[in-house]
A and B are shown apart, each in its own frame.
Chain A
Amino acid sequence: MWKKCFRNKMFVFSFVVLVPIVAIALFGPWIAPHDPLKIRPDLTLRPSMPGYWLGTDEFGRDILSRLIFGIRPSMIVALGSTALALLLGTVMGVAAGYFKGWTEQIVLRVIDIVLCFPPILLALMVVGFWGGGVRNLIIIIGIVYAPHFGRIAHSATLQVRSLEYVESELSLGATHWRVLTKSILPNVLSPLIIQVSLTVAAAILLESGLSFLGLGVVPPEPSWGQMIGDARGYIHLHPMYVIWPSLCLGITILAINLMGDSLRDILDPKLKGR
């Protein structure tokens, strides 16, 4: 499996980008040269210089340290909301596909309603009434992306359910719970795992978008999207201030997307080239 992965160039590229990012997220506090929240009125909007390798922002805070600390909230939100979406979507989709009848009707209608909004609008609607912050973002983004998992789990379950071994298990007297956990779930998992990487990338996009608007991660805690939003006002004075977080964000999402694509090729060679 690992050998197969490392023969894929896209996978190697994304691996090389993502491993350091995850490491920096984990060990950020020990790597960062400065306190990301420390205000230095004498050092505002400086270009790069010794000690402050990427310069300082409008409050004289070190941009490099803020970039390092800014990974963590995005990662927590992305992983947390994806886990929530996976859990919610799988439970709803599998239940709908397995039990059919009114369960299926209700689940599919709810999915339709959620999908009829653009994700960011739905997220803004909830943030507008409940406020931002990491915990709320995980819940909101998790709910926004749950329908995608729900649809995939639903159609996969319908497929598996019609297979003969499920029927034979039921006729042998197995409980629904046993059939669901032992036969259905393991067989619907692989399309869901492919969806996970797509959702992680989408969740980072959505989180950074909300933070960019000033409605996501609550300042002064740094996040890449929020840094871009703040830097937008100083684009003419200090262009590098906006360029660094933009590059970090773009390259990270690119790497996650490529990892998803390469995993799909590796796990499911039938789909290659689509």
Chain B
Amino acid sequence: MARFLVGKLLVMVLQVFVVATIVFSLVRLMPGDPAVLVLGTERGADPAAVAEMRHRLGLDQPVFKQFAAWIGDFVRFDWGESIFDGTKVTDYMAQRLPNTIELAVVSIVLAALIGVPLGMVAAVRRGGFVDMLLSSIAALGISFPVYVLGTFLILLFSFKLGWLPASGFASFSDDPAKHIERLVLPAFTLALGLAAAIARMTRSSILEVLNKEFVLTLRAKGVSSAGVLIRHVFRNAVIPVVTIIGLQLGNLIGGTVLIEYLFNWPGMSTLLVKAISNRDYPLIQGCIVVMSTFFIVINMLVNMLYGLLDPRVR
């Protein structure tokens, strides 16, 4: 088990290194002089200001030296300051990352809570109402972009019924009720797509296990059908379900980008979009490194979960 964990950790460190390298090279591959772009058209015309900015950004050094310096700063969490308002990039990250993590985690939990029971019912009552509903919702779910779904939910729950606020954020420590009220819609929107995928996978994987001979044996032995389903069938069917959650995480992260923007949720993605609009390169770099690392870490956790669920994987 320890070797398995160390191996996974090493792969993770390597992946983060690759991400950092790509982000480093992107700035250098940008068309035009980054120093001029940072300064803007007005001050970029002044050679002295450009030279100073080049020095500040370390662009007057050889590329390998720049790269070593960048990795060194990166490891020490010295990611520079936002060009726009001078706030430290790491401060921004500390402020925004928890909100994104909260949204993502709540959505995954919600999706599992909706998807797994739905898939089980669809499998047991194959061809029934829940089964039909599920397959039609799944077809719509992959076609309608997540922000369109969110828009329709806003129209229904906020505009038509007036149950929930359309967007915004309140910090949990200030007002827990308000905070949760504003979390429900974005989390639910994100969860729906994932829930459809989970339900489909649960259904097919349970159907497969139900056809195995040991299930027949258990039934013949007189175990109740609920007991067979929960204690024996589900435990054998759970690994593909975890796999699909893992595979869908990329979509979920992509979804948070659009959903945070739609609901004005102050997470990493709204920050990244703002940074791109402002051409705030240190902030863009920070956001991309953090979001990619977040994605890599979640993937890694899913991998480790397989190891716990299925000793054969280790």
**A229 proximity list for chain B (CB < 8 A):** 261
Question: Given A117, A208, A254, which contacts B295 in the complex, CB threshold below 8 Å?
Answer: A117
- Nearest residue (CB) in A for B27 is A129
- Contact (Cβ within 8 A) B277 A121: no
Whether B251 is near chain A, meaning CB under 8 Å from some CB there, is: yes
- Count chain B residues whose beta carbon lies closer than 8 angstroms to a beta carbon of A: 45
In-complex Cβ contact of B258 among A125, A209, A253 (8 A): A209
Decide yes or no whether A239 CB sits under 8 A from chain B: yes
Give a binary string over B264-298; 1 marks a CB under 8 Å from any A CB, 0 the rest: 00000000110111000100100010011001100
Q: Contact between A118 and B250 (Cβ–Cβ < 8 Å)? A: yes
Q: A119–B254 contact, CB under 8 A?
A: yes
Residues of A within 8 A of B124 (CB): none
| Interface segment, one of B44-52, B106-114, B140-148 | B140-148
A174 at the interface (CB under 8 A from B): no
CA distance A121 to B251 in the complex (A): 10
In the bound complex, CA of A254 to CA of B141 (Å): 9
Complex alpha-carbon distance, A88 and B276, angstroms: 28
Q: Is A126 touching B250 in the complex (CB atoms < 8 A)?
A: no
Kindly state whether residue B36 has any CB partner on chain A within 8 Å: no
Given contacts A130-B31, A228-B151, contact A119 B140 (CB under 8 A): no
CB neighbours (8 Å) of B281 from chain A are: 129
List the A residue with the shortest CB-CB distance to B160.
A239
B151→A242 contact, CB < 8 A: yes
Q: Interface size (A, Cβ < 8 Å)?
A: 38
B243 sits at the interface (CB 8 A): no
Secondary structure at the B interface, as helix, strand, loop or mixed, is helix
Q: Say if the beta carbon of A124 comes within 8 Å of chain B.
A: yes
In the complex, what residues of B have CB within 8 A of residue A129's CB? 26-27, 29-30, 281, 284
Closest residue of chain B to A231, judged by CB?
B151
The closest CB in chain B to the CB of A114 belongs to: B22
Decide yes or no whether A257 CB sits under 8 A from chain B. yes
List residues of chain B with CB within 8 A of the CB of A214: 273, 277
Bound Cα distance from A243 to B160, whole angstroms = 14
* Contact flag A128-B258 (CB < 8 Å), given A118-B251, A235-B151, A239-B155: no
Chain B residue, CB-CB nearest to A246? B148
Cβ of A68 within 8 Å of any chain B Cβ, yes or no, is no
Is residue B166 within 8 Å, beta carbon to beta carbon, of the partner chain?
A: yes
Q: CA of A243 to CA of B148 in the docked complex: distance in angstroms? A: 9
Interface centre among B29, B145, B159, B291 (most CB of A within 10 A): B145
Q: Nearest chain-A residue to B257 (Cβ)? A: A120
* 13 sampled A-B residue pairs with Cβ under 8 A: A119-B250, A119-B254, A121-B254, A121-B295, A129-B29, A212-B145, A215-B276, A232-B151, A235-B166, A249-B144, A250-B140, A257-B139, A257-B143
Give 8 new A-B contacts, CB below 8 A, not counting A118-B253, A120-B258: A121-B253, A125-B284, A212-B145, A235-B151, A235-B159, A249-B145, A257-B139, A257-B142
